Structures are given as C-alpha cells and as structure tokens.
Amino acid sequence: MSHFRNRSSLRAATAGLALAVALSAIAGPAAAKVLAKVNGAEITDEDLAIARDDLEARMPRELQGPARDKALLDNLIVAKVVAQKAEAEKVGASPDFARKLAYMRDKLLTESYLGKVAETANTDANIQKTYDEVAKAQKPEPEIHARHILVPTEEEAKKALERVKGGEDFAKVATEVSKDPGSKGGDLGWFTKDRMVPEFADAAFKLEKPGDISAPVKSQFGWHIIKLEEKRTKEFPKLDQVRDQVVRYVMQKAEGDEVVKLRDAAKIERFDAPQPGQPVAPEAPAPKK
C-alpha cells in the first residue's frame, strides 16, 4: 500500500518514458502542436508535457529551459522509433508485456485518482482548520538567546570566567579562546531546552536575566561558560510562514485516509506466506460430526 501513497515516487516509478510514448498514441485534441513526426506518427507538445512531468526529477540539473525540452523531445523521438520497432516485432503481444502494462496502468490510475482526492482536499477551509488544530495543541515553550565559551579543561574555563567577570567583552573572549568553530563570538542564537545536551541546557535555562553568566559547566564537548542574552516564549509560526507544509500535510492526509477507507471497504484475500512475526489467521474449526 505504501508505494501507492507517495505521489512523487509513483510518478518516478510508473510509466517511464515508454509509458509516456504509449499515452501519446491516445492523447491530445486537435489543438495540440506537433513537434516532430516519426514515420508519420506525431509527437505533440502535450506528449512533451507528459514526459516533462514524468522525467523531471531524473533530468540533469544543468539542463534548463529550451535545452531541457530539446533533450526530452530527443528522448521521445528515440522512444517512438524503438516503440515502432517493438510493435513490428509484436513485443506487446506477450503475456509478460500485458502484465507489466496492467501494473503500470494500475499505478497511473492510482496516482491520478489520489491526486484528484488531494486537490479536492486542498481548500482554504481545510488548511485553516488543520493549522488551527496544530497551533492549539502546541504548548508555550520558553527559549533563550545565549553565548558560550567552550574550552577543553575546567582550569581554562575558570580563567575565561575571570576575564568576563572582570569586565572583558564576552564575545571578544569567546573569539579568542573558544574551541567552538560554529558560533561566532560564542553566539548560539535562539534555542529551546531540548536542542542542547542536558548539562548545558540545565545550566543555560537556570540563568534568570540578560547578562547573567554561569559557572563552568562540563558536557561531553568540554567545559562551557554561558551568558544569557535574552529570554522569550517561543511563538508558533503564522500560517503564511508554514502554509506550504500545511498544504502538503492536508493533501497527503487526504490521500492516506482515502487509501485506508478503500482498503477497509474492499474484500481482500491474501495467499502469500506470512512474514516472520506476522500473526497467522487461525484455521476454521472442523465441522462437528
């Protein structure tokens, strides 16, 4: 079921170029623009759109714009040439081909149907409702903005603490002695307690007001001196900041819910061997004599 629920992987795995060519035989109203002919068979701009949608993720990044479309059209022409030869050789008449075509058809139908379900769910009302539910479930969480000085030994930490307690600028001392290359002037930015190792987080969040400096704190990384810059309560992002993520969730949830509903309503009989750890259905009791 899972491979039917991921739209992007379905697109990458389904028809490939061969399916795009097969579809081109039945696609396109009269208004489609003819881009090429192969032994009289037309390849249109609508066929190119199908190929672009199917092969986008597999095209080289350096190919963009007209060059990208030219490469796709070249592939369509080659595929058409090969497909015509395959037709002449009656490759499509084999049972194996028929099974593969049926498999690809099921995948494409699944993708198309679930895409329709997802688009139907993608409404402003659903997006707002989902956002409100998630935002309501979020508890206010404190976060702090802090700096630190990281050194290998307690003795070095005490010396650094003496310097900043003596009036030297914390950022300047951090720049000179700290062994943390990822924090300029020791600046760690804003963070919540769960983002830091426990020893560091406990000491940092015990600091009460901006300007407070901790005693030396040992963690798995070494010895820290921590300075509190600011405190605040972390705000849940506004809808316009996370709209894309909410839209993806709404659409994926709609697809997943539909799959579960259809699966639950279907009569499914399985005859494969149970996997290790998978419960085996009990056998029906023998009829009484």
Q: What are the residue boundaries of the structural domains of the chain, listed by start?
A: 2-104, 125-132+237-264, 140-234
Structure token digits, residue 258: 């539909």
Q: Quick check: 113 and 54 in contact, CB under 8 A?
A: no
H helix intervals, the chain:
2-5, 7-13, 16-24, 45-55, 65-88, 95-121, 124-137, 154-165, 170-177, 198-206, 239-265
Structure token digits, residue 41: 């068979």
pLDDT at 7: 43
Structure token digits, residue 196: 């830091």
Read off the pTM: 0.58
Q: List the Cα angle 131/133/138 in 5-degree steps.
A: 95
Reading phi first (left if > 0) and then psi (alpha if -120 to 50, else beta), residue 40 is in left
Question: Which 3 state secondary structure label does DSSP give 219?
Answer: strand
**The residue count for the chain:** 289
Written as tens digits, the pLDDT of the chain (289 aa) is 433 344 444 343 334 434 444 444 444 445 789 999 999 999 999 999 998 888 877 878 887 888 888 989 999 999 999 999 999 999 999 999 999 999 999 999 999 999 999 999 999 999 999 999 999 888 888 999 999 999 999 999 999 999 999 999 999 999 999 999 889 999 999 999 999 999 999 999 999 999 999 999 999 999 999 999 999 998 889 999 999 999 999 999 999 999 999 999 999 998 887 767 666 555 555 555 4
Contacts of 10 (CB under 8 A, 6+ apart): 3, 4, 107, 110, 111
CATH fold, domain 140-234, is Chitinase A; domain 3 (3.10.50)
The count of C-alpha atoms lying within 13 angstroms of the C-alpha of 137, restricted to the half-sphere facing its C-beta, is 6
Residue the block writes with tokens 């309503």: 265
Structure token digits, residue 156: 């070095």
